Structure formats: C-alpha cells, structure tokens
Chain A
C-alpha cells in the first residue's frame, strides 16, 4: 500500500513534467508540422545557463527566470535561422535537421559546460510529509512542479483563447495561406510559437533537474517520453498532451516500481506502439485518417 502510494505520487509529479514537455512538442507541431526532437537538449542547455548563474552566486529565482528567458530566445533563434528553410518541405529532411540540432546542442553543452554530473538545487525542500504511519512522498519541490506546470498551462490557454495574438497564432497554424492573405505576419508568429514552446520545454528541464543530477544527456530520455505522451494525447491537442503526460507518468512509475526501472523505456515503446496501431490520432484526436 505504502509503495503504491509512493509510486503514484512520484508518477504524478513526473507526469506533470512529461506533460509540459509534450505540450512544447504539440505547440511546435501545430504551428509548423515538425516534431522538434531537439527540444530536449534545448531545455538542457538552458538549465546549464541557470546552473552557471547559480555557481556565480546569483539567487536561485534569478537563475530560474534567466533559464526561461534564454529558452525563449533559443526557440526563436532556432526557428528563424535553422528551421525556416525546411518548413513545408520534405518530412525526412525536417526530422534529420532537428536530430542534427540535437547532436550539436548536446556537444556544445559538453564543450562549454563540461560533461560532469552536477547537482541542481530544489527550492521548497526535499523532504516528504508523514501522515501518521504513512509517508507521503510529495516534497515541497514536487508540489511546486505540479503548480508551476498548471499555471503555465493556464496562461497558455488564456493566451490562445482570450487574446488577439492567440487568435492570430491559431489562425496561422490552421491555414497559413489564408492567414497571409488576411494580413497576418505568419513568419513572426511561427517564431513566437517556437519561442513559447521552448519556454515551456525549459520549464520542464528545470523541473526535472531540481534535486537531481544534471549532465548533458539528462534530458535525452525525456524527449522519448514527451513524444509518446504527445502521441498518446494526440499531436494536435494541447489538452491531450497534458492528459497523455499524466497517464504516461503514472504508467511508467508503476512499471518502474512494480517491475523494474530498466524496463521503463520498453514500456514507453509498448504504449507508443499500442496507440499508433489502435488509435493513431491519439486519445483526443480530431483529424481522421486519410485513406486512399
């Protein structure tokens, strides 16, 4: 019973982070129809920015904000400089391009920041609670994780549904040609979309790093889990990304606790294959398959 509770709580906390990462992937997919495999090292490198500031003695929250800001900038730069030439072109080329970025950013981080395993602070404490005999494996930092992801999601919903900017962004994603005809500066909005997605990705990176060891490869498996979560929920659906993330987090945590930690990636693969074969559009799919 105790173990089940601990596993569930760990799963929920982790699931929130996967949800954030999946959300970043979905945002980029909706706007440019590209899966950004490089999102993981992008988040990792912004975490290193934070770590550098912390090493230099800056307060944690300043470093946190700086990491998010650098994520914003990085996303914009990557879209404008690297991705723009292949938007709308061959799918294979776009995927290979993001993988090339993956390799470059990974190596860059190792060269600039070193490949050692570093510890990363976690505010709000790392001790769990006790309710009588039962220990509740929810740390202060875990609660912060859940709350911050929910807040960010809420802000994004507000942006997309209640503001003009959000409306034009959705229009540009839905139909670029028509939006252009109506005077929308599509290029700028795509850049903004990537920037916001990278911000969310950076948040995910910081939340995973807290209270854990950071090294250039620490986010690599997250790109897989984030992708699976996004596909589970439906690559077109932000709400699906969140639900997918939570479900996946729980499933993986259960596998890790009850079976073995080594089989977690395999479990993710199984989930992915089941979704793709049974309901390719994901849980919240709105797009029907095109059959010849």
Chain B
C-alpha cells in the first residue's frame, strides 16, 4: 500500500492541472473570425456583422476618478442607437452596442478591449475613451485590423499618423488646436496675464501644452502636472500661487476641475480659470462642489461662473439649437430617465457620426470600406459639430475648430466666432463652411 499514495500524489497533481487547463478551453474553443451565432452570415464573412445586426464596442471609465461625467457618455450613445434601431436600423441592421468599464486604468483597458475584440468579436470600437487608456490599445487594434472610430479624446495620436494607424480616427477637436486657439485668445485679450498651466501628466497635458506654447511662450510663469488618481492637488496649486499666476489654463478631467476649485478656496487663491472643454461642465462640477462644501457652494451651474472654456458642439445650454432639440427628443424616447447632460449629448453626437459612416459604407459594409468611406467623404458630413471634420487620406483628425466661451449660470456666452485651424503652424481663421448653422434631417437619422 506504500507506493500507492507516493505515486498517485504527483499523478493526481498532473491530472488536476490537466483537468483545470482542459476545462479552461471549454466554451472558448472556437477560433476567431467567425461571425456571431444566429442569422446566417453574409456572403463575405465580416467580423461582428450579420444580415440583421452589427456589433460595436467601447471602453469607458464607468468607475474611478474619471467616471464623473464621462460615465454618462455611453448612455447617450445607446439612446441614439436605440432611436435608430427603432426606425429600422441602418441598411436593415440593428446596432448592438457593448460597453465595458476600464476604470480609466490603461492595464484594464488592454484586457477589456481584448475581450471586446477576441471574445465578443465586435465589428469596430467606437468612441473608446481616454488618452492614457486608449494609447494602450491603439496599436493592438490597428494590428488586428479593427476599425477604431471616433476616439473620445483629443490626443493627436488618433489622427496625425494615418500611415501607422490606418484604422484609427479622432472625433473631437484635438488638444493641440484647442491649446492654440486658447493661447491666441489669451494673447490677444489678456496680454498682461501671468499664465499658469495645470496639466494631466500624459499626452492630454503634453498636446495641450504644445498648442498653448505656440502663442504664449513668455506669458507662462509656471507649469504643474497632476496624476489622475492622486486627488491631492494642493502642492500643485501652492506652486502656482507662489509663482503669482493669475490666469490658469487647465487640461484636466472634471473631477480635477472640482478639486482645483476647492483647493484654491482653501489657499485663498483666486486666479481666473480657463478650463479645456473636457473638464468644464458646470452642472457636474457644481454638484461635486455642493456636496464638498455641505451646500455652501450651490449646485446648478453657478459654481463655475466667470470661467472661460471652449465649445465645439451645442449643448443643453442652447435649447433653441435644432440639434439640441433633436437630442431632447431622442433622450425623451430612449433615455434612462435621468437628465440630459452635455456628456450624454457628446455621446449622441459621435453616435450620429458613426451612423453617417455606416450609411455611407452601404449594404456591404466591411472593416476596410468603412475606413475608406470616412477618408473620402467624412469631411463633408453634416452634423452637430460647429466646424467640419478634417478627415482625408493624410489626416484622421476630427472636428477642426472651436469657439471660446465664458460660463455664466452654466451656459456659455460666446466670446469668439468658430475658429478653425490644424496642427503645427497652420494659422487660425474664422470658419466659413457654415457647419455651425446646419440642422439635422427631419427624421433625425442621417441620409433619410
């Protein structure tokens, strides 16, 4: 009986391990490339596409420090897709939308996008959010040939090198042109300001700084950076205060807008603030501040009065705009019962662009032809954006311009016309394309 157990323990061990490993390949044993089960596939097998459905995915920070605000974007996307699906879909296909949480954490983004591409087998990634996060997956998506459309971030990397990243397209104005327009405005309107920069410590900050420094070289007295996730920004603001900066430009996420406002109260420091468009939603920031201060600072948008920012799509503060009326209609029919916010409108706006691309790609949509269609026709798409897209064979960057505004009661008062420019030393000019004056089609669905 001696040898039974001394031989079986290692034997058992091998069996257990083998069992675990074999059981691991249970349900996932299908090689990639087959379309989803159900309806028979089209003549040419396109991943994520069947005769009746088209599946797309996205990664968003539904939790974590970047979640306030940004986690609402997919609500808007879903609402608009439901609206389109209710009207029959595009070329007879219903749009299926899968959102996965990455917590604004690049390592999670990598595993979540892996799941979307390899397990869920989506046709394309639409609107993946975040500069540090999406940077972790952009090469993977291009290597796998997955269309990576309308990244929810203004980093240059989504459009300035189409040769290296042919499948990736930006959507919102990139941070460099935003920085340029902000920089020029300050130079013309506040030439004596001592400017400080408050930047997120990644490409978001780098690209914004690049644009600003084209115009404001010697006006900048101090530059500070913060790491997303570390919520103590007192040392950075103390540095800005010590440098006597009286106008601070912030390229940061909304939580950090609230935090900087809070800390400057603590330090009795009252500079003028210029927040980039991604961080300046007054209602959201006001809500955060109201809670912090136990009601001393009231919510409802007054929290950011006097703050300068930029705009590139009409929001809830322009209720007379035709696009905003469309979004109200879509939200009322397909929303989740909560209020319509600018982040949800952001979602609906880029969902509209995706639907336009699908329309243009035609019945036989493939991963390659949707890219070609955007390069050839994208620049002529009419949509909510105030300036036209810049899509072409050599440029995959999105909206080409913005307006400078000042917030009052949560609404922005325009300080300039729509200004357009491009990367590098392309000059800034007023937009004459009329993109800001167009209206949606009556049905609310492009091409109809």
Contacts and interface: CB of A to CB of B under 8 A. Distances in A.
A117 B68 contact: yes
A211 B236 CA distance: 17
B67 interface: yes
A257 B64 contact: no
B101 to A, nearest CB: 9
A137 interface: yes
A7 B267 CA distance: 11
B64 A6 contact: no
Interface in B281-328: 288-289, 291-294, 296
B268 interface: yes
B184 interface: no
* Size bracket, chain B contacts: 35 or more
Given A117-B68, A121-B291, A261 B232 contact: yes
A128 interface: yes
Contact of A256 (B235, B266, B269): B235
Given A122-B294, A126-B292, A128-B268, A213 B231 contact: yes
Contacts of A7: 235, 238
Interface string A2-26: 1100110010000000000000000
B340 interface: no
Contacts of B65: 117, 213, 215
Given A128-B265, A137-B266, A119 B288 contact: yes
A60 interface: yes
A135 interface: yes
B266 A261 contact: no
Contacts of B292: 119-122, 126, 211-212
A129 B266 CA distance: 8
Contacts of B242: 2-3
A125 interface: yes
Contact of B64 (A117, A118, A135, A212): A117
Interface in A19-57: none
A44 to B, nearest CB: 14
A135 B291 contact: no
A115 interface: yes
Interface of A: 2-3, 6-7, 10, 60, 114-123, 125-130, 135-137, 139, 211-213, 215, 218, 256-257, 261-262
5 contacts: A119-B258, A119-B291, A211-B266, A261-B226, A261-B227
